[in-house]
Structure 1
Amino acid sequence: MIRIRHALLAALLVSSLTACGSASGSAKSDGPEVTELRYQGSVGAVTFPELAEHLGYLAPVKLKWIGNTISGPQDIQAAATGQTDFGGAFNGAIIKLAAAKAPIKAVVGYYGSDEKSYIGYYVTEGSPIKGPRDLIGKKIGVNTLGAHLEAVLKEYLKRGGLTPEEIEKVELVVVPPVNTEQALRQGQIDVAALSGVLRDKALERGGIDPLFKDIDLLGPFTAGSVVLTERFIEENPQTTKKFVEAYSKAIEWTQTHSREEVIAEYKKIIAARGRNEDASTIEFWKSSGVANKGGVIDAKEFQTWVDWLEREGEIKPGQVKTEDLFTNEFNPFKDGSAS
């Protein structure tokens, strides 16, 4: 099975080129050192930095969109190699990148799973696939390899009693999220991993049944974090503070405002950025999925995946220390309320 090791190696080789901000102008000593941050977005969706900028939390720092991505590992690699100034991914992918000696640090949790927002694995109505063992030799559509969807699937298979050799016979197929439902219905894949508005739209159309959900295995949890390079943090402490503060306040805003209010603002953001996108999926937004207020990171959100990766042989025991992977230093909610 294809791994993201080549991406990790690439990040390691160019780690000396890590981001130090796009440096569009110099800031006062008591203000942000850089005032423009490059990032990747998501088609038809709104990211928390975009919401933060829209709500005025990020000023005077501005965002510079350089394109979209559907891959968390690619997003954090882009940050590690200086193509962007920040990126977000599944915590397990962050651990792998850190294990490859990429100098990155997680600063805020940004997505996760709960009863309203979760990753579901679906089959077509009437499918003979009913459990883990039925997946041997089958194709499962995921957004990217080496991340959340693959890790949860492997945990499901292992708990279902499959041996490592049997798990290797379950084929992961990378499919853009917007095409995953169609690929399932057309028989190109046997199982589709779906989340958020794409999952809800697919369920509304009918004809698909749930196989399992990630929360069935793990309960509600924050699954991914946003990273900055250690060099960026060291050279731009005020920008880092402003960015994380704005990011966490945007998360908290969605956690404390009604679904209707969130959807209304998201529609405004999509319309204003003029990327010729379909905003209809925003109507299905339900929750941030982030477990802790303002995205404060809990050590167990990394330790769970450190343990799992060690058990799977993806990293060596002791290769990564959980306390080195993240910091809540810049999050205003770290003590329970915004300062």
Structure 2
Amino acid sequence: MTPLFPRSHAPALRRRTVLAGALAAAAALPLRAQGSSTKIVFGYTAVTDFATLFVAKEEGYFGKRGLDVEPKFIPLNPSIPAAVQSDSLQMGGPTPSVYLQSVDGGLDHVVVGGGGTTAKNMTGVGLVARAGSGIKNAQDCLGKKIGVPGLGAYLHVTFRAWLKANGVDAAKVSFVEASFPQHGDLLRGGSLDAVVTADPFMARILSSGAGSVVSYYTTFQPDGMPTILYTARRDWAQKNMAAVKAFREATVEAAAFINNPKNNAKVREHLGKYIKLPPEVLATIQIGPPGPLINEKQLTYWVDMMKEQNMLKSPVNVAQLIAK
């Protein structure tokens, strides 16, 4: 019987077969097992919406997938896209409105996942007025100076939508950009009449007596809309497809951990490490439902809201904005 391959070719064939098998096996292993570790500096702001990031880091979900993720605090959310563009951050968590504005402005960034989501029962975000400001409802905001943790960011955009829904022209309200940690001091000092803020900073303001809640205004939104998007430059994501997939898988695992009531204390411990909260504050704040996977419908919701506020100049193809 004639051999399929000449005997003189057999050793080379065996070597190629072994090599091919080794390459296939290596491709199936996690990144770290292959002797590599992808470094990702991730920009976050001091809110609970980044719980999946913190849990994935502290529970080792990134590490076991060969990712060396370094969470880096960024005071103002609108600063994140520029830092991602410059490669100071490889990934970051802008709010949907900040992200879409950056894309509209020419940055080629994609969504790799999501942080927190909206929920009707969430009272961790609100309009908090300074004592003596006279602000009791939406109409009272006219002519007032109101602090927001980022012009064009989530709280600013949703607050303007709430004002409109209550018959108030947002153009007649003076908005001042101020980071979350400044809110209490600016109210106490009288620099602002009110702030659009979130826990844990809202809880601190209320406990200190510096202000009172006028409205937990975000409850007008439907459930399940993303409050934070995890993003990266498109070229970086394309060059690091395995890392993007591993990052997403790690945050999905973190979301499952967060959703298990048995892990509540541990989740709050991880939050406290990164947003610097004392145990007594951690025990009281709400943690929104995690939403690690983002779809076109969710992005379209934000596009429509921003178009209504004339915040986008160009058409947006949401299908092209989600990393595969």
> TM-score with structure 2 length normalisation?
0.78
Give the Å deviation of 1:320.
0.7
Give the Å deviation of 1:84.
0.8
Question: In the aligned structure 2, how far is the partner of 1:326 from the partner of 1:44?
Answer: 23
Give the Å deviation of 1:168.
2.3
3-state SS, counterpart of residue 38 of structure 1: strand
Identity level (%):
18
| Partners of 1:251 and 1:288 within 8 A in 2 | no
| CA 1:236–1:98: 2 relative to 1, 3 Å | same
| Partners of 1:36 and 1:61 within 8 A in 2 | yes
Give the Å deviation of 1:248.
2.4
CA RMSD of aligned residues (A): 2.7
3-state SS, counterpart of residue 152 of structure 2: coil
- How does 1:10-49 map onto structure 2 within 5 Å? 29-30=27-28, 31-32=30-31, 34-42=37-45, 48-49=52-53
Q: Which amino acid aligns with 1:304?
A: Y
Query: 1:251 maps to which residue?
Result: 255
1:107-130 CA deviation, whole Å, 9 max, x = no partner?
211023332453201113454222
Q: 2:230 aligns with which of 226, 231, 234?
A: 226
Query: 2:286 maps to which residue?
Result: 286
| CA 1:284–1:159: 2 relative to 1, 3 Å | same
Query: 1:302 maps to which residue?
Result: 299
Q: Any stretches of 5+ residues in structure 2 without a counterpart?
A: 1-25
Q: Any stretches of 5+ residues in structure 1 without a counterpart?
A: 1-27, 330-339
Give the Å deviation of 1:176.
2.2
Question: In the aligned structure 1, how far is the partner of 2:313 from the partner of 2:184?
Answer: 37
| Partners of 1:112 and 1:222 within 8 A in 2 | yes
Name the larger-Rg structure. Answer: 2
1:68-126 CA deviation, whole Å, 9 max, x = no partner?
21222211221123111100111111111112231111121102333245320111345
Question: In the aligned structure 2, how far is the partner of 1:312 from the partner of 1:265?
Answer: 36
How many residues get paired? Answer: 287
Question: In the aligned structure 1, how far is the partner of 2:267 from the partner of 2:231?
Answer: 25
Question: In the aligned structure 2, how far is the partner of 1:279 from the partner of 1:136?
Answer: 36
Query: 1:203 maps to which residue?
Result: 206
3-state SS, counterpart of residue 129 of structure 1: coil
2:64 is equivalent to residue 53 of structure 1 = no
> TM-score with structure 1 length normalisation?
0.75
Q: 1:77 aligns with which of 58, 82, 101?
A: 82
Give the Å deviation of 1:284.
3.4
Give the Å deviation of 1:41.
4.4
Q: Which amino acid aligns with 1:134?
A: D
| Partners of 2:146 and 2:196 within 8 A in 1 | yes
| CA 1:316–1:265: 2 relative to 1, 3 Å | closer
Higher helix share: 2
3-state SS, counterpart of residue 309 of structure 1: helix
| CA 1:284–1:213: 2 relative to 1, 3 Å | same
